[in-house]
Chains A and B, each alone.
Chain A
């Protein structure tokens, strides 16, 4: 099928399947999935600028569907999502500025690649340790598959990193706010903004939505239950990806027809991913999350080793 806006020929079935896979990952883990979508579009010969912009456009739609579904399940903290969106946009600008500075210095590719590998692998190793330890500490038969009522109760999940999270929550820097939906009585606004800015910074620096950093940060630093972190992250992605889509579309980097085909598969996958979260406890979702940053790291290592740019 010919897509005139980006001047590319792509099999629509391929786009639907890629969208479907990303949709399931997005609905289940609360990530945008740009680490798969970008390379997948590049493999079909779509120019890099169109791959980035079009990917963002399809992420908007998929995240709307997944966030709406999560909201009906009580998994979205709107107040937290709004604050996070502000910090993310600010941080993304900072990350983009650093990229520009590295471009001028002439070593952007090497620095970004190595930072990406270290960050991705660190997240995976830490989450593997934490979720594995938590599961071992709280091993009980009911945590395997959860009917709806038990799943709802499990949203206030446990973490082996919990004591550190509690210490972070006790940092008292004015203004303190409460997040009743997430079950947090008091937390400094600056703690939330710091997490959002760091997530945004990596989004601007490494590309994509950086959900693989933001979702774990919400769980481990802010103490948000995993189900709520997934839903709220998706809500936050709707805002930041819409902003990204708009700016990329103005620059001529969005092929909306490709995005709509990918979206056809993505929205179906996202619905399945969201419903699947109801059948897993928080630590199991976090354990299943471990391979995702490793896939990102593998792609970066491949590009470093072969010189092939996706």
Chain B
């Protein structure tokens, strides 16, 4: 493997590790903080539940991806 490709794969792997930790943490946070509330919402206010469901899933995708990028940049600066 060429050095450039190996380096970009290492960077990708490091980003992926940070992202995995954040995504897993996010799930447990939602489960413990919002678990019961989501259950009640699903039975009582379906429209609000639909909006919250989309926000939670999109949040996990967009916000965590952005946080990972920022964290990774900060970490790289420190390593240099």
Contacts and interface: CB of A to CB of B under 8 A. Distances in A.
A214 interface: no
Contacts of B52: 256
Nearest to A1: B31
A65 interface: yes
Nearest to B59: A61
B57 interface: yes
A260 B31 CA distance: 9
A268 B30 contact: no
Interface in B3-52: 4-5, 8, 12, 16, 19-20, 23-24, 26-27, 30-31, 35, 38-39, 42, 46-47, 49-52
B65 to A, nearest CB: 6
A172 B47 CA distance: 44
A65 B47 CA distance: 25
B70 interface: no
Contacts, number: 98
Contacts of B58: 60-61, 64
Main secondary structure of the interface of B (DSSP, over half): helix
Interface string A254-281: 1011011101100110011001000000
A18 interface: no
A259 B56 CA distance: 10
A286 interface: no
Contacts of A257: 30-31, 35, 38
Contacts of A147: 2, 4-5
Contacts of B42: 5, 252, 256
A4 interface: yes
Contacts of A259: 53, 57
A197 interface: no
B53 to A, nearest CB: 4
Contacts of B16: 268, 271-272
Interface residues of A, number: 32
Given A271-B16, A272-B16, A263 B47 contact: no
A249 to B, nearest CB: 3
B71 interface: no
Contacts of A268: 16, 19-20, 23
Given A260-B30, A268-B20, A275-B12, A254 B61 contact: no
B42 to A, nearest CB: 5
Contact of A65 (B2, B4, B61): B61
A61 B49 contact: no
A62 B57 CA distance: 9
A267 B60 CA distance: 9
B19 A57 contact: no
Which interface residue of B4, B49, B51, B54 has the most chain A CB atoms within 10 A? B54
Interface in A236-266: 242, 245-246, 249-252, 254, 256-257, 259-261, 263-264
B27 A264 contact: yes
B24 A264 contact: yes
A252 B46 contact: yes
Interface of B: 2, 4-5, 8, 12, 16, 19-20, 23-24, 26-27, 30-31, 35, 38-39, 42, 46-47, 49-54, 56-58, 60-62, 64-65
28 contacts: A4-B39, A5-B38, A5-B42, A58-B57, A60-B61, A61-B57, A61-B60, A61-B61, A64-B61, A65-B61, A147-B4, A148-B4, A245-B53, A246-B51, A250-B50, A252-B46, A254-B49, A256-B38, A256-B52, A260-B56, A261-B27, A263-B23, A263-B27, A263-B57, A267-B60, A267-B64, A267-B65, A271-B12
